[in-house]
Structure 1
């Protein structure tokens, strides 16, 4: 088991995804990706608005 497979396994065990079906796991992962996109977009707007004022 290489490093990436261990991280994927740790992710599945930490969030309890190992006991879900493949389609439920995909749905959860898509929701996580969408949430992370919103967070990154918010952080980028915050940095653009408040950090680069000068």
Structure 2
């Protein structure tokens, strides 16, 4: 009886969402890359303002 309880706890409760982990990784990666690109352009914009004021 004890072995069945462990299998029940470890089983996937929502089998239709089995691929959600890999999709979550892809979305997190895309968001991180987009944030890095946005940060790069903000830094370039701020640096150009400083050079223009000198």
| TM-score, scaled to structure 1 | 0.56
How many Å separate the matches in 2 of 1:21 and 1:40?
A: 29
Match for residue 34 of structure 1?
Answer: 32
Give 1 or 2 for the bigger CA radius of gyration: 2
Unaligned runs of 5+ in 1: 1-19
| TM-score, scaled to structure 2 | 0.56
Unaligned runs of 5+ in 2: 1-17
RMSD: 1.6
How many Å separate the matches in 2 of 1:47 and 1:29?
A: 27
Task: List 4+ stretches of structure 1 deviating above 2 A.
Answer: none
